[in-house]
Chains A and B, each alone.
Chain A
Amino acid sequence: MTAPLLAIEDLAVSFRTEEGEVTPVRGVSLQISENETVAVVGESGSGKSVTSFATMGLLPRPAGRVSQGRILFRRRSGDTIDLATAPRATMQALRGAEIAMIFQEPMTSLNPVLTVGEQIAEAVRLHLGYDRRKAWAHAVEMLGLVEIPDAARRASDYPHHMSGGMRQRVMIALALSCRPALLIADEPTTALDVTIQAQVLTLLDRLRRELGMGVLFITHNLGVVAEIADRVTVMYAGEVVESAPVRDLFNAPRHPYTRALLECMPSRAIQDASGRRVVRSIPGQVSRVERGCAFAPRCADATPACSVEAPMLESDAGRQTRCLRWRELA
């Protein structure tokens, strides 16, 4: 078996803040192979974006740093490097060329004073070494690929001429313009309305198949996960709490947090006394724990032991679970 495209091993990310050092991400491990979509789900603030910025080498400097673990990436050349310790120049050469990223905010993620064509062509000239005209033609081709109608003309438009959905397509075109091996999509559809969301997801899935990319798909929407992911990694308070093939996770969740998340999906909404649909939510909120399981304060299955011993990420049958009681609860 060849090494995976990306293997994050026991990652921790720390930030220096006025109140001292904080470590919002710790104990994150996950793997992605070519042609595979791995979804990372978790509530807002669970460390999904920080994990993806660490992978891109885009942690805010100088406050943020990888304080533990490795981010192994297999380059096109076949070498495997640790992105956490790679020199800046190497990261610059990788970004946009072998690893690309799309962000959550399509309205603000494009440069307002450059045309969308210029923004795509800039990356193409840099990484593929095309001249100006060839890069522009390639940009137009990419805009066509993401199904922007009349791409040749729209390439000369500025971002403010475009809707949110269009801009996210431009972001996708930009990210894929140099045929990266790995795409990180950080909540790419969260800011879009539902019909546009579905279109963008379908598009991403099609392009993933055509380019054979590995995709790290970050979302807090489990409905989206069911549609596109092969594997799912669930994060809670900066830790991976469960990781499993998508079908296993939906059919037989092992971690109490995953189970609670699934019960909160809109498709499982219940009707209240007056007949309104109510989406349940997990009671309580994320809080720092001194010791033991981070989820214990909100866990319906917690026992006193859970607040004493911190669970490890246990592997079993191609799945991983961070819960002291998962075997007895199964």
Chain B
Amino acid sequence: MLAHIGRRLAGLLLVLFLVAALVFFLTRLAPGDPAALMLGDQATPEDVARLREAYGLDKPLLLQFVLWLKECATGNLGQSIFLQQPVTQALLQRAEPTFFLAMFSLAIAAAIGIPAGIASAVWRGRPIDQAVSGLAMLAANIPSFWLGLIFIQLFAVRFGWFPVAGYGAPDASFFERLQHLFLPSAVLGVVNSALITRFTRASMLDVLDADFVRTARAKGISELRVVLRHAFGNALVPIITVLGLTLALLIGGAIVTETVFGLPGVGNLVVSAVLRRDYPVIQGALLAVAAIYALINLAIDVIYTLVDPRVRQ
């Protein structure tokens, strides 16, 4: 088991190197020069050259890449061109809202998707199944910014239950933070519940007809227990996969929702970095997200072995 995790970690490093190379060269391919952008229209070519030199932007690309890798290896993802702070620090400052947003959204998506998927499979073909399938289709196709605006209009503006936007004052309590996070989490939870519903339904349908489920019924245990313990217990592996995938997507892709709700998260950071060609921040953020993707995958692998004894050897 430990050897297996070790092998996976080595593979993970290789993947991260490839991702690093990819994001480094791709960001440089985009037209635009951060020094020129920073200094504005009035800047002289000499000023721009001086700034480029200060950030090492005048060096050959390959050398820049090697220097950046060396910095990454020390855990420091480089220096932001605009923010006057190291990228790692900038990321960590924005990590909290993004992290909580992703976790709450996942929790809401799972709380909707798993029971809906189970019910839909148990009552396959009945009205409840049709209703769930219809709603899931709807949820999957709602643009998150649109749902976000509706939620803000309704629950923040009209009813005043939640703040309209932002993340509260810097010294806000955890409860206030929760209030700020609720609506964006609900939006992402609803949108992401569709995929979880479908996976849960499909994976439950696979096991509900299984022979061991019939054995469980033959034991005389209640139908609820048959469904939850015997069927659901065996449907978990694909469901965990889709939960992990959803979490990874949420961490990397909550940009639109963060923007709509004015949350100072990683998504926001990346958007402004892209606009200003702040290479180190773009690279660092993408690399960090890639690393989290890979780690989530590794975690899913480990969880498999916990829920399915057959994977254990």
Q: Which residues of A contact B (CB under 8 A)?
A: 56, 58, 92-97, 100-101, 103, 105, 108-114, 122-123, 126-127, 158, 160, 171, 174-175
Contact = CB atoms under 8 A, between A and B. Distances in A.
B220 interface: yes
Given A105-B211, A158-B309, A160-B309, A114 B219 contact: no
Given A105-B211, A109-B212, A58 B310 contact: no
A112 B310 contact: yes
Query: 7 closest pairs, A vs B, by CB?
Result: A96-B220, A95-B220, A96-B219, A108-B211, A123-B219, A111-B212, A158-B309
Contacts of B130: none
Given A109-B215, A122-B221, A123-B221, 13 more contacts: A58-B218, A96-B220, A96-B221, A100-B218, A108-B210, A109-B211, A110-B212, A112-B308, A112-B309, A114-B230, A123-B219, A126-B221, A174-B215
Given A111-B230, A112-B234, A112-B308, A123 B212 contact: no
Contacts of B220: 92-97, 123, 126-127
Give the interface size class of chain B: 10 to 19
Contact of A158 (B211, B215, B310): B310
B141 interface: no
Interface of B: 210-212, 214-222, 230, 233-234, 307-310
Contacts of A123: 219-221
A171 to B, nearest CB: 7
Contacts of A127: 220
A101 B233 contact: no
A258 B215 CA distance: 32
A96 B218 contact: yes
Nearest to B218: A101
A174 B214 CA distance: 13
Contacts of A93: 220
Q: Which of B211, B220, B233, B307 has the most CB of A within 10 A?
A: B220
A171 B215 contact: yes
A329 to B, nearest CB: 41
A128 to B, nearest CB: 12
A313 to B, nearest CB: 29
Contact of A174 (B219, B222, B233, B307): B219
Contact of B219 (A112, A113, A126, A158): A126
A158 B310 CA distance: 8
A1 B11 CA distance: 76
Contacts of B233: 111, 113-114
Nearest to A104: B211
B235 to A, nearest CB: 10
Nearest to A100: B218
Nearest to B125: A62
B234 A113 contact: yes
A95 B215 CA distance: 10
Contacts of B221: 92, 96, 122-123, 126
Contacts of B216: 111
A287 B310 CA distance: 43
Contacts of B307: 113
Contacts of A175: 218
